[in-house]
């Protein structure tokens, strides 16, 4: 019985700790920055962490929209592959990575971040394309 009480108390404290952390996070979204001055949009944004997060959320929506469009073209590419194994094109991936690193540098984005992101994205899309190619081969619609 005592061990059950200890578990309940510990669980309650852990839950209370998470609630306090969430409350702190919410409160800090409107608190002033600790260091520096706004730099985004010529210094017009961002006076609060809330503004930063709103813009990140907006950009995330746009990124997902573009990824969905990219995914539609990936599915189109599957139509041109004879087998699901033909999806893998390491030369194409490396060409994309070189291009992405160059574009990142031109736009003052850390090229390592761009590369890591694109490697993960191309791997995910390649797996999706393999599934699409396999499905097309099972159910060809000509």
Task: Give residue limits of the domains in the chain.
Answer: 1-31, 34-138
Query: Would you list the DSSP string of the chain?
Result: -HHHHHHHHHHHHHHHHHHHHHHHHHHHTSSPPSSS---BGGGTB-SSHHHHHHHHHHHHHHHHHHHHHHHHHHHHHHTT-SSGGGG--HHHHHHHHHHHHHHHHHTT--HHHHHHHHHHHHHHHHHHHHHHHHHHHHS---
Mean pLDDT of 105-113: 98
The whole-chain average pLDDT of the chain stands at 85
Pick the CATH number of 34-138 from 3.40.50.1100, 1.20.59.10, 3.10.310.10, 2.60.40.1250: 1.20.59.10
pLDDT, tens digit, 9 for 90 and up, residues 24-69: 555 578 888 899 899 898 988 899 999 999 999 999 999 999 999 9
């Amino acid at each position: 019985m005592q061990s059950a009480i200890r578990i309940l108390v510990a669980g309650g404290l852990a839950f209370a700790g998470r609630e306090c952390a969430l409350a702190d996070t919410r409160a800090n979204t409107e608190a002033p920055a600790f260091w520096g001055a706004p730099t985004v949009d010529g210094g017009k944004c961002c006076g609060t962490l809330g503004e930063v997060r709103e813009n990140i959320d907006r950009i995330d929506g746009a990124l997902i929209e573009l990824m969905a469009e990219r995914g539609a073209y990936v599915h189109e590419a599957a139509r041109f592959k004879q087998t699901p194994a033909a999806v893998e094109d390491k030369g194409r991936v490396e060409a994309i990575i070189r291009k992405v690193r160059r574009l990142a540098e031109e736009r003052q984005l850390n090229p390592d971040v761009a590369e890591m992101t694109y490697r993960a994205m191309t791997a995910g899309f390649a797996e999706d394309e393999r599934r699409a190619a396999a499905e097309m081969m099972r159910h060809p619609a000509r």
